[in-house]
Amino acid sequence: MSKETIIVLLLVVAAFFGGYYFSKSEGAKGTPTVATPTGAQQAVTEVTIDQVKALFNDKNIVFGDKNSKLLIAEFSDPSCPFCHVAAGTNSELNKEMGSQFILKADGGTYVAPEIEIKKLVDSGKAGFVWLYANGHGNGELATQALYCANESGKFWQVHDKLMTQEGYELINTTVKNDKTKSGVMADFLKGAIDSNTLKDCIDSEKYASRLAEDMATASQMGFEGTPYFILNTTRFAGAYSFTDMQSVVDEAI
């Protein structure tokens, strides 16, 4: 066997084991469903402001005034890693997903959009609506918990607890979409909401049908993967930094 042949065989073997290791390590974290944004490239605007305003109804999770100059819709999945990145409450995962997602508080440049959006809503400058879209496959029970929490006026408290590293692991490795784990979910969230009330609400499945309805709405709004933000009529598909959205915000308000 020639020296050149031996080298080729060694390279093939190395590539095989290298690829195997990469696929296994990636699978442990879950494969992201949205490519990471590399710049402020905004999707072509195809959504009308009337479509966005129509989302601000009694059925959806809504904050702020639908008549605000700036209306923001987010389609998200509590099991989606990039949704956690955009929430800004899971700094560990932000670091794992790439240097461009390291939060400013941790020495990076990334500004989590959800945190800034909430500030805009709280200051009366924007209206916000949150809807579910399947972006990772394990967030159905957690989403029902969010709808139940909203019913009790505890959406953000429950949301922020779910969007921690502990919440991410609970959703993706322990609970997933197992209806029998509603007690586990409720117990995890007991510091944010009454656990008995939450468990009863989840078990009633009163919001189970909302997931399909939200997905249908997402499709109508040009959904491209989670997280998916619409600021008035400008769409951002992916975990964009809020700095990429700033010009749209400034123009609106």
Tell me the pLDDT of the chain (253 aa) as tens digits.
544 443 333 333 333 333 322 222 222 233 333 333 433 344 444 799 999 999 999 999 999 999 999 999 999 999 999 999 999 999 999 999 999 999 999 999 999 999 999 999 999 999 999 999 998 899 999 999 999 999 999 999 999 999 999 999 999 999 999 999 999 999 999 999 999 999 999 999 999 999 999 999 999 999 989 999 999 999 999 999 999 999 999 999 9
| DSSP β-bridge partners for residue 74 | 130, 229
The sign one gets for the Cα dihedral 24, 29, 33, 37 is: negative
Q: Please compute Rg for the chain using Cα positions.
A: 20
Nearest CA-CA partner of 240 in 152, 110, 137: 110
Share of the chain above pLDDT 70, in %: 82
Residue 139 neighbours by CB under 8 Å, 6+ apart: 77, 78, 79, 80, 132, 171, 177
The confidence score (pLDDT) of residue 111 equals 98
Please confirm whether the linkage preceding 227 is cis (ω < 30° from 0). Answer: yes
Structure confidence at residue 6 (pLDDT): 39
What pLDDT, on a 0 to 100 scale, did the predictor assign at position 16?
A: 32
Q: Which long-range contacts (CB under 8 A, 24 or more apart) does 6-9 make?
A: none
Nearest in space to 61 (alpha carbons), one of 69, 50, 72: 72
Q: What is the pLDDT of residue 11?
A: 36
**Amino acid letter for position 56:** F
DSSP state of 67: T
Which of 139, 115, 120 has its CA nearest to residue 214? 139
> What percent of the chain shows pLDDT beyond 90?
80
From CA 163, how far away is CA 157, in angstroms rounded? 10
CA distance 80 to 48: 27
In the sheet with 61-63, reading across from the earlier edge strand, the strands are 61-63, 126-132, 70-76, 228-231, 234-237
Sketch out the chain's domains with CATH numbers.
48-252 (3.40.30.10)
